[in-house]
Amino acid sequence: MSESLFNNSLWFIPMALVAAPAIATDYLSIPQAQQLLFAQANQFSERPTLLSDDARDAIKSRAGTRQRQSNQPIWRAEKDGEFLGWFIVDDVIGKHEYITYATAISPTGEVLGIEVLSYRETHGGEVREQSWRANFKGKTLKDPFKLDEDVPNISGATLSCRNLLDGVKRLLTIHELYLTKDA
């Protein structure tokens, strides 16, 4: 296993400057998150929602945060025709972070659950692919234990999740303004 890292052709890329995401974790696909948040449901029908400029203004004034996208991905969750709630996918964009998450909202507008689908965090500047790969180097020399090749965990100052919670509040506003009468 140790050798494969070095034999990987990427290893020999000459010092390319790549502005790549430094940490990119994919937790759940959309169908996986749907199943997790609405375990009972056997049907998810996509309800494409195009928000006009006026609608986005209304959301902002009610929720306090800007509705960036005009096309919000929303699904209706059902079990044998019985309406269970809404499944909404949304993004949070921070200074270096890009987080996609899903929220399940009950027919009465309660949050049933939140799951992070993917987390991307870029380096402050450009990342040299070569030096990033170099991090693998030391670990493969006579390792006395198994090494986890998964995406690394970050330890640093605690990143506030307020952005995401503001996002959920915005989704609840969308529900209140535009989804209650369609239920």
Partner 1 sequence: MPERPESLRRARPLLGTFTDIRIIDAGSACPQSAIEAAFMAMKSIDEALSFHRPDSELSRLNAHPGSWQPMGRHGLRLLKLAQILGRHSDDGFNVTVGGELVAAGALPRHVSHTFIPMGNWQDIELKPGHARLRRPVLITLDGIAKGYAVDLAIASLKRHGVQGASVNAGGDLRVFGETAIRIVLRHDNGLALGNDNGLVLRNDNGVALGNEKGISQVLWLKNAAIASSRHGGKEDARFASRIITGNAMPESAQLHSVIAPFAWRADALTKIAASGNEAKLLRLGGRRADRRADRRADQSLLKV
Site residues for partner 1 per CB under 8 A: 22-23, 25, 27-29, 31-32, 36, 94-96, 99, 101, 114-116, 119, 121-125, 127-128, 131-132, 134-139, 141, 144-148, 150, 152-162, 164-165
Torsion of CA 33, 107, 66, 158, to 10 degrees: -50
- In sequence order, the β-bridge partners of residue 91 are 100
Which of helix, strand or coil describes residue 44? strand
Which whole-number Å values give the CA distances from 86 to 13, 22, 137, 180, in the listed order?
46, 33, 46, 10
Closest CB to partner 1 among 95 and 181? Answer: 95
Closest CB to partner 1 among 58 and 127? Answer: 127
Smallest distance, Å, CB 130 to partner 1? Answer: 9
Smallest distance, Å, CB 11 to partner 1? Answer: 12
Smallest distance, Å, CB 133 to partner 1? Answer: 9
Smallest distance, Å, CB 157 to partner 1? Answer: 3
Residue with tokens 């180097």: 137
Distance between CA 63 and CA 50 in Å, rounded? 18
Closest CB to partner 1 among 49 and 130? Answer: 130
